[in-house]
Structure 1
C-alpha cells in the first residue's frame, strides 16, 4: 500500500449544490480541459450525506477552475454496476473519477489496473480484491489515492456538543452497515458522552439496546421505525450514521418536534434536512466529514500536477478535516465554547480519541 500521511485540509466550506441532468446522470457543466467524473454510491446525488458532500466539492472546484463535471448514478450497487459507470466515464474522456464509499473498493481495484491513464479518488475505502483472510490483496496504485477520515473524532465532538446542550437525558445511535467508518462514528460518540459526563458536568445515558446497526444505508422506512421505538423509550437525541436510514429517523423526529425529539446528523451539515417549521430544525448538530474538501483538494492537485497517487490520506481534527458545523443554530454559545476547547485539546494531542472498540458498546 502507498505511504500514509495526514493531509492539511482547508476549512470546511458549504458549496451550493448544482444538480444537472435527470435520470441516471448529470450532463456536462463547464468548458475546461479537465473533465471530472463521479459515480454515486447508494442513494441520490442530493442525499444530504456522502454523495451530496462529494458532489458539492466537485461543483465548487469545477466552478472555480471552469472545468467540466459529470456524475453517473448506477442502476444498482453491485461491483458490475460500478464498473459499468466508471467505464462509461472513462470512455467519455474523463481522466479523473471520484468514487465515494467503501462499496467501490473492488471496482476501483480492477479499474485502476485496466485504465492506468485515469486517476481515481476512492473516499472511505482502499482498493482490494474482495477476499478476506488468506489471499486478500490491497493496492493503492500510482493512479489512485485512498482517502479516510477520523470519524471517531467527529463523533466525539458531536457527542460533547449534544451532551452539553441537553445536559441530562438519554441518547441513542443508529448505524447503517456495521463497517469501520460507521463503527468509528459510534465509538467516538460513546467516548464523547463519557468525556462530557466526567469533565463537563453532564448526565447522559446510553443503553446498549439503543446502539444498533440497521444493516443498510437506504431503508428509509426502517430508520423511521427504529427512531420511533427509541423515542418511545424516552431517548432525547439519536446519532444517525446511516445514510437514507438516517433520513427516516429525521422524518420521525420532525413528527415529534413538539416533544423535543433531536437528531444528530452525519457526514455533512444536515440542519436544513431537519427543518420542520419556521426555519426550526430537529438537527441538534452534525458529525461532519470533509468529503467536499477531499474532492476539492484532489481536483486542485490534479490541475497542479501534484496528484498524490499511490498514497492513503487521513483527514482528521488536526487538519480541520472533521468536526461539527461552524454554525449551529440549536447550540448555545456556552456549548460552542466548550466544543471549541475540546477540539483544541484533540488537535494538541491532550485528548486522544480511540478508533478502537475496546470495552465500548458494540
Structure 2
C-alpha cells in the first residue's frame, strides 16, 4: 500500500472517461474492487511493441519488472513478441495470450494505442495496463475510420465516444521534469554547447525537449555560463545516414559537446557521430541508456532522462493482484511525476543515480537538492508545448525537422 499511496500523490493530471468521474486520487484497496479475484486467479502476460526484451529500453525494463513481481508473488508470467511492427501483429499476440489464459496484459509504449482500441473491447474480462500510452495515441489516424462520418471537433466528442477503456489503465509521464533535470545537470557539469535531437515532434518528445531547454536555462542563470543549444527533430524514430551526417556537423564543425537524443532508436545517429569526436557526449532517454550508448564509446553518456516504468509496473500489479483494487484504476489515463522530495529514486521521472557522470559542478547531493525544490514547487517547470519556452540565459537555435 505504500507504493499505491505514492502513486496516488503522483497524479498531477488525470484524463479519465466520463463514466469514471474525475477523481484523481484512487481510494485505498478494499479487497473487493475488481470482483473478488484472488492472486492465484491471475496470470500476467507482457506484449513487446516492435522490439525485444533485450532492447535495454522500454521492453526490457517492463519485462524485468513484470518477471520480478510475478516470481516474488508466485504468479504465472510469460511474454509475447509480435512477428512485425503493426497493430494487427500486436493484437494477434494479445489474442494468443488470452487464449493461453492470461488475464492481466502489460503493454509498453505508444505503439499500443491501436491495439487497445481493437483488443480491449473484445476481452472485457482481461485487465490491460498500458505504459506511456496517452489520449493522442488512442486516436491514431490509422484506427479512426469512424472519423469519416463523425464530427470530431472537441465540442462534439469525448474519448469515451471512441475508445472503451473500461478494462484499461494508461500511465503517461511528466517528461518535461526529467528533461529539465538532464538539461540542468549538463550545464552544471560544464557543457556549454548542447544539442537536442528529437524523434518526431509528438507531445512526449516535445515535453522532453522543452523541459531540457528550461533546465539548461535555469542552470546557466545560476552559473553565468554562456550556453548555446541547437534544437532539431529527425522526423522519425530511428537513426540513419542522413541524421548521422547532421550530427557529424554538430559535433565536428559546430562544436556541440553533448546531445540529448530523444526518440526511440534515433540515439544511434547521435552516438555514431559522437564516437568520431574525442570527448563528445550523448544524453539518453526513457530508461538508463548508459549501457547501450557507451557501447559506442567509453563514458559517452552524461545521464539519461528516465521514466519510472519499473515502479509503475510494480505498483499496478500490486494493486490489481495483491490489493484487488483494479476499480481505482480501470478506465483512467493518469500522468505520473514526482512523489518524493527526499528520495529521487522513488519518483516516476528521474535521472539515474548509478550512471550519471557526477562531478564537482553537479553531485548527487546537488541532484537531491534540485528534486526537493521541484517537488516543493520552488522550481517550476512548464509543461506547455504550444510555444517554445522563454529563455533568458541561453541561446536556442531551432531548426525544425531534418527530414
- Normalized against structure 2, the TM-score is what? 0.75
Tell me the SS of whatever aligns to 1:317: coil
CA distance in 2, matches of 1:285, 1:170: 16
Residue-by-residue CA offset, 1:41-84 (whole Å, 9 max, x unaligned)? 23332222222222222122122223222222223222212211
Larger radius of gyration: 2
Residue-by-residue CA offset, 1:120-152 (whole Å, 9 max, x unaligned)? 011122463534744865246231111011100
Which of 384, 388, 403 is equivalent to 1:356?
Answer: 384
The gaps in structure 2 that reach 5 residues or longer are 1-16, 27-39, 341-346, 390-397
Residue-by-residue CA offset, 1:315-355 (whole Å, 9 max, x unaligned)? 20235110111223522154023322221111001111111
2:393 matched to which residue of 1?
A: none
Q: Is the counterpart of residue 239 in structure 1 residue 260 in structure 2?
A: yes
> Conserved in 2, the CA contact under 8 Å of 1:158 and 1:285?
yes
2:281 matched to which residue of 1?
A: 262
Tell me the SS of whatever aligns to 2:186: helix
Structure 1's 189 and 80: CA in aligned 2 closer, same or farther, altered over 3 A? same
The gaps in structure 1 that reach 5 residues or longer are 8-31
> Conserved in 2, the CA contact under 8 Å of 1:164 and 1:202?
no
Structure 1's 224 and 94: CA in aligned 2 closer, same or farther, altered over 3 A? farther
Structure 1's 137 and 330: CA in aligned 2 closer, same or farther, altered over 3 A? same
Alignment map for 1:12-51 (pairs within 5 Å): 34-51=42-59
Paired positions, count: 332
1:106 matched to which residue of 2?
A: 114
Which of 333, 336, 361 is equivalent to 1:312?
Answer: 333
Give the superposed CA RMSD. 2.6
Tell me the SS of whatever aligns to 1:318: coil
Structure 1's 74 and 160: CA in aligned 2 closer, same or farther, altered over 3 A? same
- Normalized against structure 1, the TM-score is what? 0.83
1:178 matched to which residue of 2?
A: 201
Question: 1:227: Cα distance to partner?
Answer: 2.7
Structure 1's 323 and 106: CA in aligned 2 closer, same or farther, altered over 3 A? same
CA distance in 1, matches of 2:308, 2:382: 20
Question: 1:4: Cα distance to partner?
Answer: 6.0
> Conserved in 1, the CA contact under 8 Å of 2:44 and 2:102?
yes
Question: 1:155: Cα distance to partner?
Answer: 0.2
